[in-house]
Structure formats: structure tokens, C-alpha cells
Amino acid sequence: MNATNNDLDSLERDLLARAEAAGDEASLETLRVEALGKQGSISALMRNLGQMSPDERKTYGAALNVLKDKVSEAILTKKAALAEAALERQLQAEAVDVTLPPIKPRIGAIHPVSQVMEELAAIFGEMGFAVEEGPDIETDFNNFTALNFPPNHPARETHDTFFLDAKGEDGARKVLRTHTSPVQVRTMLKQKPPIRMVCMGRTFRKDSDATHTPMFHQIEGLVIDETTSMADLKGVLIAAIKAFFEVDDVRLRFRPHHFPFTEPSAEVDVGCDRSGGQIKIGAGNDWLEILGSGMVHPNVLKNCGIDPDKYQGYAFGMGIDRLAMLKYGMPDLRAFFDADTRWLKHYGFSPYLLPGLAQGIG
């Protein structure tokens, strides 16, 4: 009887150790069959019970049942542990690190002119200006006549105009627009005041050196309402230039000038410092001319169907390429249009960063 119990103890140790050591479900199943199956070791011992005395059968049978329960329990526990470990391995293998930055495909760089246009759209958009557009090829009327250039006046030549062979409905030769001001005309013809718009785009003049190219870019601003004034113009320009150059100290100087389409007209200089061999906008004792502006001429309002006795407005025009050169320190305008990818790589901007006033302009 004692010997038999000892046998049970060693059988238990052996079976439990095998359950613990099983590396996969298959070896657990083998163990189950070998211990608890019909031909298994525990079942064989069960069969011996018949030859025992009733007392022996009682204690030995109980001990066998305990052993049977322990072994099946150990097998189930190990099975659950193996399943959990397998799941853990799978989760590890399939894990995605969501904190890793995405792989950025190489899709080139944003050209400084596009970048500056985005910046200006963000700045003027914040101040309530809508962005309007117009075509590169314009009628003589929109580019000149409506803007109060006298008909057939040589002023058309002072813009170094590219005239096309094609003629507009007015019988005059079409032009590559020499400024963005025809978009003022287009906007006033289609929209009743109040008007508050900017337009950015290509402009063309026969001119070429380090700071002039036959194709360049302008931004135009126009505000028409019942009480607009030069003071509003000055306030808007100061706010825009502060935001664009990201400086707090901006001085503007309005110099009397002449444009056919504004009266009074002014060229505007911005305060700068040239002492370091480079132009720095903001503090300093120098001036740099950056834009043309004025109060919209009553004739222009009339030409565009707006009552000059009720409405008045201001307009301004600026060179975008010039703004880009000043802000980002590019010395030669011609390189803007060379399509040299090394230049673009150096001066270009990430397509992933959109300018906005909240996160900073440029």
C-alpha cells in the first residue's frame, strides 16, 4: 500500500513535470493521451482497483482521482499559458509604432514664389480679403482703358507692354497683362461694393536684368466701401508687412507719385537697415521702395459701374518676387525661373508645412 502510494507520488511528479515542460499543444495532447487516455497510465491503474480489498480501493481510488484531477488541471493550465504566449508573440510581431513619423515621399520643394503667395493669402485672408483671379492675357480695356489710361495714350508703352496680334471686342490688340490691376476691374464689374480683395499672379513687361524678368509676379489689393481712407490703407499695409517679415518695428513712408488709376497716389517705402551688406526690413535708417498705392480714381469707379459719389476705395500693388528676395535672401531674380533643381532644393520649402498665422508665416 505504501509502495503503491510512493509509485503514485513519482508518477504525479513525472506527469506534472511533463505538463510544465510541454512546449506546444501537440505535446500536451500526447501527454493527455498517455496519462488519461483509455490506454493511459492512470487509466491502467484505475483498472487495478478491481483486485483490491474494499478499504484499499477506497483510499487508493481517492488518491488516483486526485492525481487524475491534478494532471488534467495542469494540462489545461499549461494549454492556456501556451495560447496566451502565442497571442502575445503575434501582437508583438504585428505591432505598429504609431509614434514613428510617416515616411515622407520625396515630392520636391515648393518654389519661393508659391510659398510667398501662400503666406500673403494667409495674411490678407485673416484680414478679411477674398482672393480673386484673372487671366494672363488681357484686353486693352481691362489692362489700361478702364484704369484711366487715356485711349491710345503712350502711357501704354511706359509699361514695356507685350502686345499680341489677337484683338479684343474693343478692336484693340490684347496684351500680356502688365500688372495685376485689371483684376480690380474684373472684380468691380462683377461684384457690388463693399469689396475687399487681393489678387496674385503673373505679370509681364519687356525688361530683364538681375532684379527684372520679363515675367514676374504681383499682388494687388482693392478695398471699395463708403468710408475707406488712406489711413485704412496705411493700417492694412503696416499690419501685412509686420506679419510677412515677422518684425514688430515697421515704418512706412508714403511718397507722392502718379498712377493713372489712383488719386492721390503714393509710392511706399519700408524702413530697413543695409549696414550688414544685406537688407534687413524693420529697424534702421534706410528706406526701400516696395509698393505703389493710392485712392481709387473716380474715373475707374465710373468705368466699372460704381457710383464715385457714394463709394471710394484704396488700392495697392506689390512685387511678389521682390518680397521673396527680401525675406529669404535670394540675390538674383533670374534664378527664380531657371528651373535649376539645385537652386530649388536650397531655397525651396517643404510641401508639408502650410503657412498660417497660428503656426507662423514662412
Q: Which spans of this chain sit near ligand PHE (rule: CB under 6 A)?
A: 179, 181, 220, 259, 262, 292-294, 315-317
Strand pairing class (215-225; 262-273): unpaired
Cβ closest to ligand PHE, residue 264 vs residue 284: 264
Cβ closest to ligand PHE, residue 258 vs residue 345: 258
Cα separation of 12 and 32, whole Å? 13
Helix extents (H) in 127-219: 140-143, 155-158, 182-190
Distances 320 to 110, 112, 128, 254, 285 between C-alpha atoms, Å = 15, 10, 20, 20, 24
Q: In the complex, what is the shortest distance from the CB of residue 288 to ligand PHE, in angstroms, rounded to a whole number?
A: 16
CB 138 within 8 A of CB 173: no
User: Whose CB is nearest to ligand PHE?
Assistant: 317
Cβ closest to ligand PHE, residue 261 vs residue 336: 261
CB 319 within 8 A of CB 212: no
Cβ closest to ligand PHE, residue 115 vs residue 218: 218
Q: In the complex, what is the shortest distance from the CB of residue 157 to ligand PHE, in angstroms, rounded to a whole number?
A: 14
Cβ closest to ligand PHE, residue 64 vs residue 318: 318
Helix (H) or strand (E) holding 330: none
Residue 358, all three cell numbers: 497660428
Q: In the complex, what is the shortest distance from the CB of residue 169 to ligand PHE, in angstroms, rounded to a whole number?
A: 23
Beta strands in 81-169 (DSSP E): 130-132, 137-138, 163-167
Q: In the complex, what is the shortest distance from the CB of residue 292 to ligand PHE, in angstroms, rounded to a whole number?
A: 3
Cα separation of 129 and 162, whole Å? 30
Cα separation of 284 and 304, whole Å? 42
Q: In the complex, what is the shortest distance from the CB of residue 259 to ligand PHE, in angstroms, rounded to a whole number?
A: 5
Cβ closest to ligand PHE, residue 108 vs residue 235: 235
Q: In the complex, what is the shortest distance from the CB of residue 281 to ligand PHE, in angstroms, rounded to a whole number?
A: 20
Cβ closest to ligand PHE, residue 317 vs residue 355: 317
CB 335 within 8 A of CB 343: yes
Q: In the complex, what is the shortest distance from the CB of residue 298 to ligand PHE, in angstroms, rounded to a whole number?
A: 15
